[in-house]
Structure 1
């Protein structure tokens, strides 16, 4: 895979405003893989892009009223058809929802 300024050349770019700068002395040391479907149990719609770009409509589904206030993102999403969508360049730090505790890695 080729990178261009932190972006995968092959990925569809959907820039998210939900990121910050990674400190110069901080290097990524692990990969976290999540799964997501929006609304829960439904696949293939536009809602993940909407959530990660801050454009989810609270009235579009009852569940969205609960999450519309979130400011979250991911570096990449691999859709069920194999398409890669990138929201944040790899040299930036995504904004995550909540804390994750991993053995030996501290709190993310």
Structure 2
């Protein structure tokens, strides 16, 4: 069972790695995470299983490792969590801090979604189906998040930054995500 400690980090678990990113800051005073933002990422695009995503979030990406990577030079981003294809989880930022994952975004009339959200990156692409192990990891992770944060909604990056972002894309099974996480069925309107 996954659980957060009082500092917003997942407690020791065989399927969890903590890799603190420098790319975060404090949430505005009085803000807590009420929104879960789902993303996807693969580096280089469509390549799974490497170290590049972790290296990007830790500001140590080798831009010479692949011809596509130099376009990321100077980018400082992070997410709270990265769920790999095998269901293992890497945590980069405490859930009590603001990770830099949503960028220019709006939800329910409120801008700057990083201020009030938790970002989860799924290893994948818009069009490659996510794995059963990834959905199982989400089903284990969400109760731990909800135990410390008043999450009220879950949306894709595509929903909070339409026209600018497309992830997690049509390959993400929102129906399955809702079925496997009962609070979503009861509390959230359709995406």
TM-score above 0.5, yes or no: yes
Shift of 1:23: 2.1
Partner of residue 53, structure 2: 48
Structure with bigger helix share is: 2
1:65 Cα offset (Å): 0.4
Contact 1:7 1:90 in 2 (8 A): yes
Instruction: Give the one of 28, 33, 37 matched to 1:32.
Output: 37
Aligned to 1:69: 74
* Structure 1 runs, 4 residues or longer, greater than 4 Å off: none
How far 1:44 moved relative to its partner? 0.4
TM-score for the superposition, normalised by structure 1:
0.91
Unaligned 5+ residue runs, structure 1?
Answer: none
| Higher relative contact order (Cα pairs below 8 Å, separated by 6+ residues) | 1
TM-score normalised by the chain length of structure 2: 0.53
- Contact 2:32/2:96, CA 8 A, preserved across alignment: no
Query: Greater Rg, structure 1 or structure 2?
Result: 2
Residue in structure 2 matched with residue 20 of structure 1 by the alignment: 25
Q: Aligned residues, how many?
A: 107
Give 1:58 shift. Answer: 1.3
Question: C-alpha distance in 2, partners of 1:30/1:44?
Answer: 28
For structure 2, the residue ranges without an aligned partner over 5 or more in a row are 114-191
CA deviations over 1:16-35 (Å, ceiling 9, x no partner): 00000112311211100001
The CA deviation string for residues 79-107 of structure 1, in whole angstroms up to 9 with x for no partner, is: 000001000011110013631233x1432
Match among 88, 92, 97 for residue 87 of structure 1? 92
Cα 1:106–1:25 shift into 2, 3 Å:
same
